[in-house]
Amino acid sequence: MLRQRIITALVLVALLLPALFARAGWPFALLTLLMIAAAGWEWARLNATSSAAAIALGALLAAACAATLAGPWAAQAPRWLFTLASLAWILGGAAALRAGPAAWPRLPQALRLALGLLLLWAGWLALVQARGIGINFILSTLCLVWMADIAAYFGGRAFGRRKLAPSISPGKSWEGVWSGQLGVLLLAGGWLAVESRWGAGRFDSASLFGALLHALGPLLALLALLALAGMSVVGDLIESLVKRAVGAKDSSRLLPGHGGVLDRIDALLPVFPLAMAFATR
């Protein structure tokens, strides 16, 4: 299993890094389009569609993303779109987590499918827009999610006492959440210190942390970072809730040793729209 995980991770890195650092934006947009289409197929499967319907919905999501690339939103999507997606994550996520796994299958299937596909599309668009702002911006946002996850894992193992959502993800604790938020604040401070020391001219864009500071000021930027770290946990919990509701361990077996695409991007999906809503005008 470990060997399989390492091989899959190396293949993913070999695909993602050239696309991310390409001079043009389309290789990254195309690669992530394929990944989000696979996530759409996984979402449909988790919500009790037939194999043919799941493939069709994944293809529909890919077509919607491709149409978006061909339109004016490819350059700059309106801020209200990311604000609306963020509100859907915050309000819908809170309602779903409060109701628990047992309530999920009782929602109309069409609503579950439509909401999931729309949020996947919005998350993909936010990811592409972040890449359009600059490598420094998208990398800092990715690192925020990864730091929140890593710090929460180790903080939870060391200090975890109070369970966060025992019926959904028994391993998560409130202490882990706070550790993740602390890790994000330390990351932001270190990133801003490097940017300040090296000078803005050495980077292709502001980082997420610099953009938040410029757009919101110190206090609101601090609160925004805490919110972003918290939403990475929400994304993880929502996918865990859906899998637990249907008795699935992974979203699929597309990524040997890692599960499915949704298993790898669940924490990114609410964070990128919220980051774009906070940091852009």
Whether 112 has a pLDDT exceeding 80, the answer reads yes
Q: Which residues contact 162 (CB under 8 A, 6 or more apart)?
A: 173, 174, 175
Residue in 166, 159, 210 with CA at minimum distance from that of residue 180: 159
At residue 186 the predicted structure's pLDDT band, cuts being 50, 70 and 90, is very high
CA 244, CA 168: separation in Å to the nearest integer? 7
Strand partners, 259: 255
Residue type, 8: T
- Coil, strand or helix: which one is 164? strand
122: phi then psi, degrees, rounded to nearest 5: -65, -40
- Are the C-beta atoms of 186 and 149 separated by less than 8 Å? no
Mean residue pLDDT across the chain:
93
How far is the C-alpha of 104 from the C-alpha of 20, rounded, in Å?
Answer: 36
44: containing domain? 2-279
Distance in angstroms (rounded) separating the CA atoms of residues 159 and 161:
6
* Total-model pTM: 0.94
Query: How much is the average pLDDT of 225-248?
Result: 96
Kindly report, residue by residue over 62-103, the tens digit of the pLDDT. Answer: 999 999 998 888 778 899 999 999 999 999 999 999 999 999
Distance of CA 67 to the CA centre of its chain: 22
pLDDT digits (tens, 9 = 90+) for 5-40: 778 878 888 888 999 999 888 999 999 999 999 999
Q: In the numeric block, which tokens belong to residue 229? A: 């770290």
Task: Give residue-wise pLDDT tens across range 259-269.
Answer: 899 999 999 99
Q: How far apart are the first and last CA of the chain?
A: 45
Domains in the chain: how many in total?
1
Q: Does residue 208 have a pLDDT over 80?
A: yes
Q: What is the pLDDT of residues 142-180, one digit of tens each?
A: 999 999 999 999 999 999 899 999 999 999 999 999 999
pLDDT at 2: 60
Q: Residue 25 corresponds to which tokens in the numbers above?
A: 């934006």
Structure tokens belonging to residue 270: 């609410």
32 burial type by CB count under 10 A (0-12 exposed, 13-18 middle, 19+ buried):
buried
